[in-house]
Structure 1
Amino acid sequence: MSDLLASIGDVLGYGAQPSDDVSIVVGSLKISGWTEVQIRCGVEIMPWAADLIATEWQPGSQTDVTINEGDACQIYIGSDLVLTGYVVTIDREMTPDSHAVHVAVASKSIDLVDSAAEIATYQLNSMNALAIIRKLAATAGISVYPVAGAGSVDIQVFSIILSETAYEAIERVCRLANCLFYDRPDGNIALAPVGITVIPSAFAQGRNVEAARVRASQAGRFASIQAIIQTPLVLTQPPASNDYVSEFAAKTAPVNAVGYDNGISRPWRRMLVPVESGDDGNYDYARRRVQWEASRRYGRSQVIELTCDGWRDNSGSLWSPNTIAQVSLPALKRDGIEWLITELVFRRDEGGTHCDVTLMPPEAMVPEPILLPMQANEGMRAINSNNAAPLPGGL
Structure 2
Amino acid sequence: MNNTVFLRVNGRDWGGWTSVRISAGIDRIARDFNVSITRQWPGGEDVPPVKNGDAVEVLIGDDLVITGWVEALPLRYDAQTIMTGIVGRSKTADLIDCSASPAQHNGKNLFLIASALARPFGVNVVDAGAPAAAVIEAQPEHGETVVDCLNRLLGQAQALAYDDEWGRLVLGRPGSMKAATALVLGENILSCDTERSVR
Task: Measure the CA separation in 2 of the matches of 1:75 and 1:198.
Answer: 29
1:1-395 equivalent positions in 2, closer than 5 A:
18-56=1-39, 61=45, 64-118=47-101, 122-148=103-129, 150-155=130-135, 157-195=137-175, 199-212=179-192
> Alignment partner of 1:76: what SS?
strand
Q: Aligned-pair distance for 1:140?
A: 1.0
Q: Structure 1 CA distance, aligned partners of 2:156 and 2:145?
A: 17
The letter of the residue matching 2:114 is: I
Q: Write the distance in 1 (CA, Å) between the matches of 2:47 and 2:193.
A: 41
Give the fraction of aligned pairs with identical amino acids, expressed as a percent: 25
What's the TM-score once normalised by structure 2's chain length?
A: 0.87
**AA matched with 1:166:** V
Contact 1:93–1:101 at 8 Å: present in 2 too?
A: yes
Contact 2:47 2:84 in 1 (8 A): no
Output the CA distance in 1 between the equivalents of 2:116 and 2:164.
18
Alpha-carbon distance between aligned partners in 2 of 1:157 and 1:44, rounded to the nearest angstrom = 23
- Post-superposition shift, 1:111? 0.9
User: For this pair of structures, how many residues does the alignment match?
Assistant: 197
Letter in 1 for 2:96: V
Q: Deviations over 1:308-365 (max 9, x none)?
A: xxxxxxxxxxxxxxxxxxxxxxxxxxxxxxxxxxxxxxxxxxxxxxxxxxxxxxxxxx
Contact 1:151-1:174 within 8 A present in 2 as well: no
For residue 57 of structure 2, what is the amino acid of its counterpart? Q
Which protein is richer in helix relative to its size?
Answer: 1
Residue 156 of structure 1: how far off its partner (Å): 5.3
Q: What secondary structure does 2:34 align onto?
A: strand
TM-aligned CA distance change 1:46 to 1:157, over 3 Å:
closer
Query: Residue by residue, what CA displacement relative to the aligned partner does 1:111-167 show, whole Å, maximum 9, x if unpaired?
Result: 111111025xx212221111011100111111111113x131213552221110111
- 1:183 and 1:40 mapped to 2: Cα distance? 11
Higher alpha-carbon Rg: 1
Please list every run of 5 or more consecutive structure 2 residues that lacks an aligned counterpart in the other structure: none
Is the Cα contact below 8 Å between 1:152 and 1:177 reproduced in 2? no
Q: Would the aligned equivalents of 2:73 and 2:84 in 1 still touch at CA under 8 Å?
A: yes
Superposed CA deviations along residues 162-221 of structure 1, whole A, max 9, x for unmatched, are 11011111112222221100111110111111138754234223322355467899x9xx
Q: Alpha carbon RMSD of aligned pairs, Å?
A: 2.6
One-letter identity of the residue aligned with 1:181: A
Counting strand residues as a fraction of each chain, which structure ranks higher?
Answer: 1
Decide whether the 8 Å contact of 1:133 with 1:144 is kept in 2. yes
Q: Distance in 2 between matches of 1:100 and 1:25?
A: 20
Deviation at 1:74, TM superposition (A): 0.8
- Scaled by the length of structure 1, what TM-score is found? 0.46
SS at match of 2:36: strand
2:171 is matched by which residue type in structure 1? Answer: L
Question: CA 1:65–1:216 in 2, change beyond 3 Å: closer, same or farther?
Answer: closer
